[in-house]
Structure formats: C-alpha cells, structure tokens
Structure 1
C-alpha cells in the first residue's frame, strides 16, 4: 500500500487553489511584499504557484515554470521578504486545514529554495 501524498490528503487541486488564493491575499496586503508585485501578471503567477505547491505536496503536477533562481533574478528579494512569504504560506496552509506535519514538510521544501531566491 502506498502512502497518500500531501496533495491527496489536503483535497487536491481545489484545496491547493484555496491555499494559493489565501496566500496571495496575505502577500498583497503586506507592505514589505507589495512592491515586489507591482508589475506582475497575477493570473500567471497564481497558476505557477498552484503548480509549485501541487508539486511540492506530491501532486500529479509537474512545475514547469522557470527555476527559482531565474524566476527571481533582478528582483533583489531580501531575507526579510523571503521570511514574510514563508510565514504567509504557513498561515494560508494552516488556515485552509492542512495538517501541521504536511505544513512543515511544504515549508521545509520552500526554505530549501532561499539561496536561489534571496538576492538574485
């Protein structure tokens, strides 16, 4: 018997979309982060984030966006901004009923990307 993926445990695509929607509500309400999104196509970013979260949660989705370093090149993202994003993702996951162990696993995967995102 295979272990159920986090993606399946939390409710699949609909649940991921709810998390990402909540996440961006939080991000776009954060004065530290809003400047990073001023010229961003949010529909495209939303779609990429759904792919990304689905992928790190073990869903049947392959993330096909740019690698993290290329995607964040020239943005000058600070460690503080990265921490805010991680905190908002953590809160959105928990608020949408994702179990604590699954949240920790997803946040660990995100934390591993910090060097590819910060200062690019």
Structure 2
C-alpha cells in the first residue's frame, strides 16, 4: 500500500466518521456498537473500503430523515441485525477454521502415508 493510498483511505474514513457524527445521538450510539461488533466478528469485506459501514449509515440517514427511532430501523436485537447483514459474508474466523481443517487433513494424510 502506497502512502497515497493510505492518505486517501484516511480521508475517506474521516468523511465516513463525519457522516456518523451528523446522525442523531441514538443512531450514533447504535452505529458505534454495530461497528465494534463487526470489527470483532471480522467480515473480510469490512477491510475493503467502508462499503458495509457506509450502507449502514445510508440506512440510518434514511431512518433519521423519516423520523424513525434507531431501533425501528434495526429492530430491538441489534446483534441479530448485524448477523443478518453479514450472514453470507466470509469472516476471518471462517478463513482460520478452514486453514485449521486443511492443516489437520494434511497431518492425517502424512500419518496415514507413514503407516503404510
């Protein structure tokens, strides 16, 4: 990653966070919790720009503009809302699990080959 890319990414992130700060307080609180949750769960595309997070802000901006409370937009179970957003996304945990399974199979195959 070049310095230009890093600068561009930082500018995009600042603009993104400015959109968050423009939301009503209850939306900001829920957004930050969503963001924290998504960073822990780690969907792979989360690190590829701010597409998913920007989509959440778009949804929140629409909800706020129409006078809805944030829980009217997300539902009362915010974690379930997040899980539904990323249900078809590959996570870093998935990638790690796949690598563990792959390495285990290799080790088993080596052991099987040695015993023959």
Task: Please state which band the TM-score falls in when normalised by the shorter chain.
Answer: 0.3 to 0.5
Task: With the length of structure 2 as denominator, give the TM-score of the two structures.
Answer: 0.33
Greater fraction helix? 2
Task: With the length of structure 1 as denominator, give the TM-score of the two structures.
Answer: 0.32
